[in-house]
Structure 1
């Protein structure tokens, strides 16, 4: 195979092009690539370039940016205590996603991955929160946590306790937010694991059972190693998703109380867009983009490649 590849690489370019035209690959590339490049340029490259440009101006979004401030926006962001809180909250969501959400999804997947009518019902029940729109989920849970009229108010009244406003508590509001995030997204990871577990050969499991392996040992030494690529991809989705959390927090707390539940994206929205400080918001967007790309590149390099090799 190596010698064949070497021989083809030494062929003239014209011969390789003719071969590509003959099997339709070059034609498919010429037809499909230009529209994709145009769309990617219009909706990704140009907005990112403009954001990088606006980040160096004090601009409210009207007219052309003229008040050049250099890196002042970035200095203000780094020194802003609320941004530091937002970064800390985003890291908390990453950790919660990796060490609570994913293990919970894996446990449930191991319990209901087999194809039975009962398991199909449970899979649907657990997956429904992910189907629900983020804004709708946030509104539903804001009602649940409402101390006057929500479910928590009914529970407090039933046990004879005073109404408690969880989303107004500086210490517990973000715990409530993270609870909703785990509830909302664990079903997505569960379905990834179920699909992977259904692809594990039953012969391996049966062989381990004949050798006397317990259920725990089968999970640890047979099933989990077999679905390692799915775990790696799931963790990547969890990390990138944590960097983008926005729609759930806005209807739940809108970043409050006292700006204690902001993530990087809600910080960008609140202190950039809603206050017409587009230059400042663009600088936050640049920081978020660099963070996301850095995570993606390093994760691809150090985890996905190793998982593929393994």
Structure 2
């Protein structure tokens, strides 16, 4: 067995299938999208006309495109500054419960395995201006009904809340696993020294789980940049493009309007924007969160 493992061909045999799949479903589509982004192809005809950087110029001079970029930034900011603190708080609370911990973990994780279409429809009922739960509660305090998904002032925040509700549980399980992997002796020693629960959480637990929190933020940023499905189900980018993100902007042109070349140029821009944001985060923030040994 050891002699076989010394043969480089063995490693090639095991790696080659995964490498071929990587080339076929990741590298090849990327280069195909880049190539198509320089064309006016409609996605159907055999005629492909190369038009240079015209698609990119059109996108960068389109106010609707920059509105979609702004909405993607809203997703990122909401995830980093509202969703992540909630994730940490609930993870700490669940980690300290004595009974039914498994039930709580299952309850918070359940939305993550639900279909986005189901979640969109469910929250559509919650946001309904006539019989929705939110307006029913507000009505108890004499507040008039709010058109959550059809009012430009409320539509985006409604989408952000729904998206956060779907994925918060997934990240809570990740952070919770990191918390539970911390040796109990550290917490017990701090408690003996007189540290309060809040002090133990802020001075011991949080510093030790910073690497996984960094991963959660990175995944949140990546998820924010490719958000589309929940928007398509709930608002289709409306009202008046107020909930459009780059992915829905791309879908509208690449599929609905048969501007496949232009849609591919948006896909390339999404890739570049995501790359820039994640690299900046890695360089400026994530590198400071070094691996921690207990």
Q: TM-score, normalised by structure 2?
A: 0.91
Distance 2:155 2:7 in 1: 55
Per-residue CA deviation, residues 82-108 of structure 1 (Å, 9 max, x unaligned), is: 111111111111111111111101111
Q: Which runs of 5+ in 1 are unaligned?
A: 1-18
Query: 1:104 and 1:58, CA in 2 relative to 1: closer, same or farther beyond 3 A?
Result: same
**Alignment check: 8 A CA contact 1:57 1:65 kept:** no
Instruction: Identify which of 198, 207, 212 aligns with 1:230.
Output: 212
Are residue 86 (structure 1) and residue 68 (structure 2) matched?
Answer: yes
Instruction: Identify which of 188, 202, 227 aligns with 2:184.
Output: 202
Per-residue CA deviation, residues 168-213 of structure 1 (Å, 9 max, x unaligned), is: 1011100101111111111111111110010111111111111111
Are residue 131 (structure 1) and residue 110 (structure 2) matched?
Answer: no
Structure having the higher Rg:
1
Are residue 279 (structure 1) and residue 269 (structure 2) matched?
Answer: no
Are residue 260 (structure 1) and residue 245 (structure 2) matched?
Answer: no
Query: 1:222 deviation in Å?
Result: 0.5
- Indicate the residue corresponding to 2:175 in structure 1: 193
1:167 alignment partner, SS class: coil
**Alignment check: 8 A CA contact 1:20 1:26 kept:** no
1:165 alignment partner, SS class: coil
- Indicate the residue corresponding to 2:229 in structure 1: 247
**Alignment check: 8 A CA contact 2:147 2:154 kept:** no
Instruction: Identify which of 120, 127, 138 aligns with 2:102.
Output: 120
Number of equivalenced pairs? 292
Instruction: Identify which of 169, 176, 181 aligns with 2:163.
Output: 181
**Alignment check: 8 A CA contact 1:138 1:251 kept:** yes
Distance 1:115 1:164 in 2: 37
Instruction: Identify which of 5, 15, 22 aligns with 1:40.
Output: 22
Query: 1:299 deviation in Å?
Result: 4.0
Superposition CA RMSD, Å: 2.3
**Alignment check: 8 A CA contact 1:56 1:70 kept:** yes
Query: 1:24 and 1:299, CA in 2 relative to 1: closer, same or farther beyond 3 A?
Result: farther
Per-residue CA deviation, residues 68-93 of structure 1 (Å, 9 max, x unaligned), is: 22111101111111111111111111
Distance 1:276 1:69 in 2: 16
Q: TM-score, normalised by structure 1?
A: 0.86
